[in-house]
Structure 1
Amino acid sequence: MDILRCLGIPPVVWYGASVCLLIYLYGKWRLRMLLNAGIPGPSPTIFLGNLKQMSTYGIVDSQRRHRKTYGKVYGQYLGALPYIFVHDLDILKEVLVKNFDNFTNRMATMQSLNMNPYPLDMALIFARDDTWFRLRNIMSPTFTGAKVKHMFAHINTAAESLARNLAEAATHTDASYVKEFFVAFALDTIAGTAFGIQIDSQMEFTNPFVVNAKKLFPTTFFNTICLLFSVMFPAIKPLLKLCGVYTFTSSAVNFYREIAERIIVQRRRLPDEKKMDFLQLLIDAEDDTAGQGKAHAKRLSSDEICAQVCLFFGAGFEAVSTSLQFMAYVLATHPTVQRKLVEAIDSEIGDEEPTYDNIQKIEYLEHFIRETLRLYPSVPLIARGTANTVEIKGYTFPKGSVVVVPTLEIHRDPEYFDHPDSFDPDRWKETIYPLSWLPFGYGPRQCIAMRLAMIEMKIGLIHVLRRVKFARLPDTPAVIEFNPQAYGRLAPKEDIRLKIEPRRGRMNNASVSCSSLNS
């Protein structure tokens, strides 16, 4: 201290400089994992990692750039979190299937992003290790074909409403933001299949189900900045939660949680009046002792039921509505495809009510949806945490790193698809390597609701294409630009406007009615 005084340096300056040096060294130390493992990639910036490049080019464009520069395996940092992007399908088979026990958890080192209000931490998508295995085993029977069949009436009713609303729009306006219609359809479908409640989102704008669904995902600048800081400095996550910063709006989550709790109580009182919806299927797997030290309990607790329903509602409507928006765009920009799809529907089922069995006959509809999801997967990235350091095909994946599957880039890789940027449903007539198509993930952790989502989109398209057709407008883009701010989702930079036209000879035909539903 005497030396500092002799040099004329106040102690407070020395202490401050020492703290800054320690922070700098700590920041540099956190960014050595990928370098030490021999994983190539762009140089990260202290604390920010590669966030600057990601924000400049967007995650999708930066993947394409790095794939060309560094090859099929390269690393990046999101803040201090080490990502390893893998385009090699043989390595991905090890990660997603063969070595699944080492890559069980989603984004293991990204728990700073798991800023979820109670009880969403108990949802299947966020569950880890033994808890995930237990939940998955209990819930898998909920989405079998036999169970989904019982939800068809809800889906058909919502799809009929969608078709009527689009037909009405066709007579009143020259341009429509089609996603608004598909959001309403998805909300109506999930309200029915999850809660057994019938709503009409197109007509009931102030319905609490509609209002809360549309505010589930916070979009404020403050919330985005806070989540960014939680990535850079994971230790502040508890403080941010105390301040009410979440990845889902807590008030909206609380609304659906309270609805689920009231329905659970009501159905317990009337056990003989069961409905075949998602909530009821989970109630049938309920046990109040689950989650209280019984790691292998075979039933769900009430809190776990509410968590699954809340996530099912929130995640389901956004993914389905965005995918249908892309499908409408494809139909408008590929009139030949639209004509072939309409002909396939008419020839295979005509005016029959869509059922689980007859929609399987429409092979071209299956190919059309698969091709749309190839070009526009609603989730452009899949991430798995590395539990223990492992070497695969000469690459070292260190413990604590996150292996990222760049779904969109794999779907558009010329190594796996001829003319990958072209829309061609007929390519699905040939056998395609399963791991090259990943819109729902792959392996044991594949999306549990894949079957239901595919059926929902098929029924929606069948009803819609019986009544209307989509056409492009002068300002309809030839190539869709993606929104770089739609973190974790693939969404257009701007919602798509299209012209909706009535199908001649169909407008006056009475649509097939569905079985009436009790609300």
Structure 2
Amino acid sequence: MGVCPFHPKPHSSKAGLITTFLLKRRSWLDGLYEKSYKMRAGRVKMPGFDLFVVNDPKEVRKIMVDNVKEFPKSDMLHELLKPLLGVSIFTTNGEVWKKQRELLRPSFEMTRISKVFDLMSSAAADMMDRFRKYPDGSIVEVDEHMTFVTADVIFRTIMSSKLDEIKGKEILHAFVTFQEETARTAIRKFFCVPQWLSNILGENKRMKAGAVIRKSLSDIIKPRYENYESDTYCDILSSLLHTVDASSGERFSFEEILDQVSMLFLAGHETTASSLTWTLYCLSLDQDAQQKAYNEIISINKDGKFSISDIKEMKYLTNVFKEALRLYPPVGFFARQSKGEAKIRDKVLQKGSGVVVAPWLIHRHDDFWDAPHEFRPDRHNENIPKEKYMPFGLGERICIGQGFAMQEAIIILANILREFKLELKDGFIPDVVGRLTVRSANGMMIKMSKR
């Protein structure tokens, strides 16, 4: 038996259009109903959008792997994320995506070297210094700490720049605003709200938030882009500055580099922060799992600096993280669209129809998991079919930074658990919301006691 972490209780039946509009403005999780967790495929028809939700593993494989060209990334997703990400690998398709992925590949080969590990470790050490400043047994809002440390890791590994605390708060506040307003903008588009009204209701606020983040990144990138020939850094930005397109002999333009770094910042800090927060939450609820993880950590390295080989040895802690990723996948849905007419099970999709593959639903589906809502790290001792477990995506578009994220997460968790015992604040229930990522809208209040 495992513990059963909180998740939003689904509605007993499908909501009507007006209720859907009101519920999903805040979080797409609020619009789910009981059948969502049992169905193999479903349809949500809205005034401006026809959306098909696919949970069937065979159909998921068709969409994400076998017929991937027939189900490109959603145009609407690209439009929604453009104020922050520009034209980046996260939302592009076809030849543009292929070229961008190829140009980014050398940068991610770098993430395997020890220098990146050391940068992650130094960010984790600074995080631990911040935690040690609290009196023993304090209730700490750990979500903001996870968001800061993962953003700091990205700044250090991509741009060799520590994240300043004041600048960090400004960027992270802007990102929260961008997430909230993007969720609202999406639902307004689904319901054909006119653009002028959308601008009044928050679209301008969203654009400004995206601009704040891009300016912070641009201020670091611009001088290095202009002086790239004398750039002596050994980081991901340096790799991007010197990467040349084999077919054209051209380097990335400044805007292209800014777009890719913005994407790496979003995908690299936000998703890992979400996953770490939910892992700490699950461990705070499951004291047996926490003790088991602690025992493993101190048996490998009781009090020294963790090495790469230490992190690779932490099999149980890795399973803990994988199980938190199952229960709270950071990207709860992958948005695609049908390039032409297509058939999904018994449903016919028209050209341009929206298609959603939702890890949130697949990871909690009654047909695919024993006690799907329970936290059971030992599930991951066995091989799980990729179509049923996909926190990093599936197929050719699987997250390019998967190895980076896993290594970073285990470093951060091992540091925290070795030094602190975690207990959830009495009576605290997280407010689980689905926006761009799955987060807790009221933070995560955890009592941290020194071991």
Q: TM-score, normalised by structure 2?
A: 0.86
- Alpha-carbon RMSD across the aligned residues, in angstroms, is 3.2
Matching residue of 2:413: 461
Name 1:197's counterpart in structure 2.
161
The residue identity in structure 1 corresponding to 2:342 is V
Q: Could you tell me how far apart the structure 1 residues matched to 2:61 and 2:330 are?
A: 21
- Contact 1:76–1:82 (Cα < 8 Å) also in 2: yes
Residue 272 of structure 2 corresponds to 320
Alpha-carbon distance change, 227 to 421 in structure 1, aligned in 2, over 3 angstroms: closer
Say if 1:242 and 1:73 are closer, same or farther in 2 by CA, change over 3 A. closer
Contact 1:253-1:310 within 8 A present in 2 as well: yes
Give the corresponding residue for 1:25: none
The Cα of 1:310 is off from its aligned counterpart by 1.9
Please state if 1:124 is matched with 2:72.
no
Q: Which amino acid aligns with 2:122?
A: T
The aligned residue for residue 278 of structure 1 is 236
Per-residue CA deviation, residues 484-511 of structure 1 (Å, 9 max, x unaligned), is xx522211241111110001xxxxxxxx
Could you tell me which residue of structure 2 aligns to residue 88 of structure 1?
A: 56
Report the Cα distance in structure 2 between the residues aligned to 1:416 and 1:322, rounded to whole angstroms. 24
In structure 2, the CA distance between the partners of 1:489 and 1:502, relative to structure 1 (3 Å rule), is: same
Instruction: Provide the C-alpha distance between the structure 2 equivalents of 1:436 and 1:221, rounded to a whole number of angstroms.
Output: 29
Quote the residue 1:65 is aligned against.
Answer: 34
Residue 426 of structure 2 is aligned to residue 490 of structure 1? no
**Are the counterparts in 2 of residues 285 and 300 from structure 1 also a CA contact under 8 Å?**
yes
Q: 1:388 aligns with which of 330, 340, 356?
A: 340
* Identical-residue share of aligned pairs (%): 21
More divergent stretch after superposition (138-147 vs 307-316)? 138-147
Shift of 1:191: 1.3
Identify if the C-alpha distance between structure 1 residues 79 and 438 changes in structure 2 by more than 3 Å, giving closer, same or farther. farther
Change in Cα spacing, 1:153 to 1:111, as seen in structure 2 (3 Å) is closer
The alpha-carbon distance between structure 1 residues 148 and 215, as it changes in their structure 2 partners (threshold 3 A), is farther
Superimposed CA distance per residue, residues 166-196 of structure 1 (whole angstroms, 9 cap, x where no aligned partner)? 233243x631111122222112211101110
> Which structure would you say has the larger Rg?
1
Q: Aligned equivalents of 1:242 and 1:423: distance in 2? A: 38
- Other structure's SS at 2:387 match: helix
Structure 2: distance between partners of 1:160 and 1:220: 29
Give the aligned partner of residue 175 of structure 1.
Answer: 139
The TM-score with structure 1 as length reference comes to 0.76
The DSSP-based 3-state class of the residue aligned with 2:118 is helix
Q: Letter of the aligned partner of 1:250 in structure 2?
A: A
Return 445-454 or 246-255, whichever deviates more: 246-255
* 2:287 is aligned with 1:339: no
Q: 1:259 aligns with which of 215, 220, 226?
A: 220
Distance 1:222 1:96 in 2: 28
Displacement after TM superposition at 1:54 (Å): 3.6
| CA shift for structure 1 position 137 | 1.7
Unaligned segments of structure 1, at least 5 residues: 1-40, 504-519
Q: Distance in 2 between matches of 1:223 and 1:59?
A: 12
CA contact (8 A) 2:110 2:236 kept: no
1:92 partner letter = V
In structure 2, the CA distance between the partners of 1:180 and 1:493, relative to structure 1 (3 Å rule), is: closer
Counterpart contact for 2:284–2:424, Cα < 8 Å: yes
1:354 to 306, 314, 325: 306
Say which is worse superposed, 159-168 or 372-381, in terms of deviation. Answer: 159-168
- Which of 72, 96, 99 is the matching residue for 2:67? 99
* Partner amino acid, structure 2, of 1:127: T
Distance 2:65 2:36 in 1: 23
| Deviation (angstroms), 1:345 | 1.3
Shift, 1:346, TM fit: 1.6
Equivalent position SS for 2:326: helix
For residues 93 and 284 of structure 2, the distance between their equivalents in structure 1, rounded to whole angstroms, comes to: 42
CA distance in 2, matches of 1:128, 1:384: 11
Residues 470-509 of structure 1 correspond to what in structure 2 (within 5 A)?
470-477=422-429, 480-483=430-433, 486-503=434-451
Change (3 A) 1:211 1:396: same
Structure 1 equivalent of residue 8 of structure 2: none
Query: What per-residue deviation string (whole Å, max 9, x for no partner) do you get for residues 261-290 of structure 1?
Result: 11222442x24x2x2212112112146xx9
Structure 1 residue 365 corresponds to structure 2 residue 335: no
Query: Do the aligned partners of 2:177 and 2:209 also contact (CA within 8 Å) in 1?
Result: yes
Q: Structure 2: how far apart are the matches of 1:159 and 1:430?
A: 30
1:250 to 203, 207, 211: 211
Partner of 1:432: 384
How far apart are residue 55 of structure 1 and its match? 5.0
Q: Tell me the distance in 2 between the aligned counterparts of 1:444 and 1:501.
A: 43
Q: Is the 8 A contact 1:115 1:245 kept in 2?
A: no
Q: Is 1:51 paired with 2:21?
A: yes
The alpha-carbon distance between structure 1 residues 473 and 54, as it changes in their structure 2 partners (threshold 3 A), is: closer
Task: Letter of the 1:281 partner, please give it.
Answer: S
CA contact (8 A) 2:282 2:324 kept: yes
Amino acid at match of 1:103: F
Deviations 1:332-385 (A, max 9, x none): 111111111011112234445333333111111110110011111111111112
**Cα gap change, 1:316 to 1:322, in 2 (>3 Å):** same
Secondary structure of residue in 1 paired with 2:50: strand
Residue of structure 2 equivalent to 1:30: none
> How far apart, CA to CA, are the structure 1 residues paired with 2:208 and 2:385?
35
Letter in 2 for 1:439: P
Distance, in Å, in 1 between the alignment partners of 2:448 and 2:126 is: 16
| Deviation (angstroms), 1:394 | 4.1
